[in-house]
Structure 1
Amino acid sequence: MRILVLGGTAFLSAEITRQALAAGHEVTCVARGTSAAVPDGATWVRADRATGVAAFTDLDGHWDEVVEVARDPVFAKAALDALAGRAGHWTFVSSCSVYADPSVPGAAEDAGLLQPLPEGEHGTPETYGESKSAIEEMTRRAAGEKAHILRPGLIGGPGDASDRYGYWPARFAAKADPVLVPDIPDSPTQIVDVRDVAAWVLYGAARGLSGTFNVVGEVVPFAGYIAASRSASGATEEVVPVSEDWLVQQGIDYWAGPDSLPLWLPPGHEGFQARSNAAAVAAGFALRPWQETLKDTLEDERSRGLERERRAGLSRLTERRLLSRWKGGRPAGARSGGPPG
């Protein structure tokens, strides 16, 4: 196939490019290349998508497959205007963040969506879900039956720069001090391996697959994920479960960012990491065991440095401070529930 990847330098789009090249396809990537180069073997068209349709003036001919990962509706519309008529198949990587209600476990693709961002309005981090919803709508309108829309949840695996999934196995592998965890043993985690998402993109392209699919992994209780992370790293350090309410009082953030606890979500998000993937699996989506993703993520974390500065998780200093406060105020024999006072 002749494949055009709108991107090709970052986590998922780079993995799609690598797998497509390994399968013998001709791959062209449109990217600025300010943070990384495209994988070896791909044709690189350097372009800034902020220029609109002009970003695609150097692209000629018909494409069997176009892969779009944009989060800005203005950029996505320009690509559709310039290329949809010359594409045999169009894949858009959306997100489960398009859903309006994250509280219902097991929800499928027919769940209600966020209101799309108005046409012509640029997306921001605060309007991520609305932006992806808008791009879905314009993709269906422009590409019609050629459109294959993926809604991943949290994508993990080797090369993940967000540090969310890799924080916990890396933290145990550091083998330093007790490990603070939120006391949420039964809360779901749901990670999909970047390599499986990339393979699904190419699977859909080869078969002309259309429609919208939740591309999410197996649901794993937080306690199971933590236990597996500890076991994979060979750690023996104490695990200290800490009350959610107390963590909030200490100013610790949910999910991502500095001084956060990855995979911990606020109330009302009980279904955010527990979506149904039944439709995708029935259509051929293949998942590797989550334990394999965890093992490979840990190897990647070690290669990049366990003590490096991270985008998500607690710094060692913050974690020690919290543990000291928690243990200093907790009644003897208490497992969790928050220190008095």
Structure 2
Amino acid sequence: MRLLVLGGTVFLGRAVARLARAGGHDVTCLARGTTGGAVDGVRFVTGDRDRPDGLSAVDGETFDAVVDVTTRPSHARHAAAALAGRVGHYSFVSTCNVYPDDATPGQRADTAKLHDPAPPEIDNPRDGQMDMYGPCKVACENAIRDGIGADRVFLLRAGLIVGPEDRSDRFPYWVARMRRGGEVLAPGAPDELVQFVDVDDLAGWLLLAGTTGLAGAYDGMGLPMPRVRFLTELRDALAPAGPTLTWVDQDFLVEHDVRPWSGERALPLWLPLPEYGGFQSRDTTRSVEAGLPARPIAETALRTAHWMDTAPQDVKPGGLAPEDEAIVLREWHARSA
């Protein structure tokens, strides 16, 4: 397969390029080259997609498949116009932020309501307008589907992507926390759900979509699992004789300024209920049936830990600091005594 990756220098794009190269595909990555490095053995060409002619480096070339991760509707429009008629299949990596309903569990990609697309004057959600991230991705989806043809477009609405080269503080926080050992503050209740996907599983699915012609909208994440399973399997992989889990309920966490999802004083992968009851509980049965794999948590944990050890400069600090965690646990035990 002749594959064009629009990006390919960070995280998921790099994983796609790396797996495609290992699988014997002919891979070209087009990017500015300012946010990451190209994969060894992959052809890299420079292009600035902020310009209407940003894909001119591949003018006249044809590709069996394209993988695109842009957040900017103008990029999507320019790519669709430039590549229409020259590509067999187009995979666009969208996001579950295209859905406005974060509260309802069990939603499906083929039936869930979407945000309205971003208006034309909004083109970059990172310019202080992150509330427009989902609407911008909807606009990108529409531009690519309209320009390339719905029967040749795979819309992959990714959730939380984890694994090596994850520069967020979400999954890496839990890897580091389990390795540190001791008493671990487990947020919420054991049966609350979490949902994510390994970066290489998602990359492999994108390659499968390109080779089989999979089309339509799918959510790119594994089946939801109880938080207790996630934390227990993570612990057993990284420190089987070490940490103990202490479950602290949501109201107490909120009272003590423990924050959700990511960032300073946060417990990653935890979100308040019921307002986010649907965010990590999407019905992804269709995705699994369409070939999305799910490797064991232990494998993802060990691979992530190895990357964190070998590239510590790329690991983003964040989450609840050890001293703050100790204070919250001490006060929880005092309240429960």
Fold-level similarity (TM above 0.5): yes
Structure-2 residue corresponding to 1:315? 321
Change (3 A) 1:282 1:242: closer
Q: Deviations 1:70-124 (Å, cap 9, x if unpaired)? A: 1122222222222233222111011112112122222112111111111342232
Identical pairs, percent = 39
- Partner Cα distance (1:53, 1:216) in 2: 33
Q: Please say if residues 73 and 120 of structure 1, whose CA atoms lie closer than 8 Å, have aligned partners that are also in contact.
A: no
Alpha-carbon contact 1:84-1:90 (below 8 Å) kept: no
Question: 1:256 touches 1:311 (CA, 8 Å); kept in 2?
Answer: no
Do the aligned residues in 2 keep the contact of 1:258 with 1:310 (CA within 8 Å)? no
Once the two structures are superposed, the pairs formed by residues 1-341 of structure 1 within 5 Å of their partners are 1-50=1-50, 52-60=51-59, 61-109=61-109, 110-124=111-125, 125-144=130-149, 145-175=151-181, 177-234=182-239, 235-267=241-273, 268-305=275-312, 310-327=316-333, 329-332=334-337
Q: Is the 8 A contact 1:19 1:199 kept in 2?
A: yes
Q: CA deviation at 1:217?
A: 0.6
Aligned counterparts of 1:99 and 1:5: Cα–Cα separation in 2: 26
Cα deviations by residue, 1:100-156 (Å, 9 ceiling, x for unpaired): 212222211211111111134223222221111111111111111211111121111
Which has the larger displacement, 10-19 or 292-301? 292-301
Aligned-pair Cα RMSD in Å: 2.1
Matched position secondary structure for 2:246: strand
Contact 1:9/1:39, CA 8 A, preserved across alignment = yes
Q: Conserved in 1, the CA contact under 8 Å of 2:95 and 2:137? A: yes
Quick one: distance in 1 between partners of 2:255 and 2:170?
Answer: 22
CA deviation string 1:248-270 (max 9, x = no partner): 23332211122211110122211
Contact in 2 for aligned 1:217/1:277 (Cα 8 Å): yes
Q: Indicate the SS of the match to 2:165.
A: coil
CA contact (8 A) 1:216 1:276 kept: no
Give distance in 2, aligned partners of 1:46 and 1:251.
45
Q: Secondary structure at the match of 2:201?
A: helix
Unaligned runs of 5+ in 2: none
Q: CA deviation at 1:161?
A: 1.2
Contact 2:308 2:315 in 1 (8 A): no
5+ residue gaps, structure 1: 333-341
Deviation of the 1:325 alpha carbon: 4.0
How far is the alpha carbon of 1:321 from its aligned partner?
Answer: 3.6
Contact 1:74–1:121 (CA under 8 A) maintained in structure 2: no
Give, in angstroms, the shift of residue 40 of structure 1.
Answer: 0.8
| Amino acid in the other structure paired with 1:244 | Q
Q: Distance in 1 between matches of 2:70 and 2:314?
A: 29
CA-to-aligned-CA distance 1:151-197 (integer Å, 9 cap, x gap):
1211112221113123213201023x532221321111111111111
SS at match of 2:194: strand
**Counterpart-to-counterpart distance in 1, 2:208 and 2:243:** 43
Amino acid at match of 1:36: G
Distance 1:58 1:256, change over 3 A: same
TM-score (norm 2): 0.90
Could you report, residue by residue, the CA deviation over 1:200-250 in whole angstroms, capped at 9, with x for unpaired residues?
111111122211112211221011111122222225244332231222233
Q: 1:339 — aligned with what?
A: none
1:282 is displaced (CA, Å) by: 2.4
AA matched with 2:258:
I
Q: Give the TM-score normalised by structure 1.
A: 0.89
Contact 2:223-2:283 at 8 Å conserved across structures = no
What is the letter of the counterpart of residue 106 of structure 1?
G
When residues 262 and 69 of structure 1 are mapped into structure 2, their CA distance, relative to the original with a 3 A threshold, is: same
Q: Report the 3-state secondary structure (helix = DSSP H, G, I; strand = E; otherwise coil) of the residue aligned with 2:14.
A: helix
Change (3 A) 1:258 1:292: same
Report if the CA contact (8 A) 2:168-2:315 is conserved: no
